[in-house]
Amino acid sequence: MPNAVVTYDLSRSFGAVTAVDRLNLKVEEGAMFGLVGPDGAGKTTTIRMLCGILAPGSGTASVLGHDIVRESDAIKKEIGYLSQRFTLYGDLTVDENIEFFAEINRVYDYRPRREELLEFTRLTPFRARLAEKLSGGMKQKLALACTLVHRPRLIFLDEPTTGVDPVSRRDFWTILQSLLKQGITIVMTTPYLDEAERCTRVALMNRGSLMREDTPEGMKSAMVGEILEIVCDRVRDASALLKGEEEAMEVQAFGDRIHVIVTAAASGEEAIRRRLGRGGIHVTGIRRVEPSLENVFISLLTHPPVPGETR
């Protein structure tokens, strides 16, 4: 498959802060590509450079075959961009918002497309409602409809489900899967690692740098060791104790549970029970679990790759 996005040492700084540091990525056409990381990882800055909103400090990139600096106008005609603060007009209805964004994008025969988008996003019953009266989830669906009105080949979504209730998040993902079936390429940022599991490929970022890029399954299968999930009392004390255990390669706290990465599950469980028993900690249960992207991300933060390489 040809690439929809390619970046070459893409970088951007704001004063002394390096927001994006020599980023090299390739996104295949028709894929759903996730940029994942905490606040300050450089996700939004990357998206804004790819959309032609911010100029790179160094390096470059191409989007749909167009250079992001020299051909930004051509890029904007072929992409859609849903930012974190997408501006709907609260005093306009659902219908009127779509009409407004159609006209901005010079889609003058917009009515058939509007009907299609209202049906697609299940907003038809709410078409006469003012945007300010919509729920958070419906606002995001309307924002997406406005983004799609000019039939873009690629859409950039910047944390589209942040602050949205679980039911609306599920609906939004159903819509995104439908867009993929239509051949639209999706590049999205998200702080939610469970959402990243749905992407074709994922890039894990932190402090402007790419830590690893792979399929979700490829990332998880590359983890060394096995993971034991421990349920016990005094979780904080237990975590501190286990960090001193030879069998524990890594200790990760998850709320009321602890994940311990060990070389082998059987011998690791025995050593963990001994260590916690000596510390007077009651263990309710220990079981082996499959790695998640959250395990991978925490592991990379704990043991970051050597500068200049990804793991």
CATH number of the domain where residue 258 is located:
3.30.70.100
Distance from CA of residue 15 to its chain's centroid?
26
Q: What is the mean pLDDT of the segment spanning 249-273?
A: 94
Answer whether residue 243 shows pLDDT above 50. Answer: yes
Tokens 């409602």 found at: 129
157 Cα distance to chain centroid: 9
**Tens digits of residue pLDDT in 150-207:** 999 999 999 998 878 888 888 899 999 999 999 999 999 998 888 899 999 999 999 9
Kindly indicate the confidence band of residue 306, based on its pLDDT and cuts at 50, 70 and 90: low
Please give the C-alpha separations between residue 62 and each of 5, 42, 89, in angstroms, as whole numbers: 6, 18, 32
Say yes or no: 7 and 87 in one domain.
Answer: yes
pLDDT band at 304 (very low <50, low <70, confident <90, very high): low
Compute the mean pLDDT over every residue in the chain, rounded to the nearest whole number: 92
pTM of the complete model: 0.88
Which DSSP symbol is given to 131?
Answer: G
* For residues 100-125, average pLDDT: 94
- Hey, CA dihedral for 278, 280, 286, 289, is it positive or negative? negative
Instruction: Assign residue 152 the CATH number of its domain.
Output: 3.40.50.300
Report the alpha-carbon distance of residue 295 to residue 291 in Å, rounded: 6
Same domain, yes or no: 198 and 253: no
Structural domains in the chain (count): 2
Q: Is the model's pLDDT at 233 over the cut of 60?
A: yes
Q: Are 35 and 210 in contact (CB under 8 A)?
A: no
Listed residues 213, 234, 249: the one ending a domain? 213
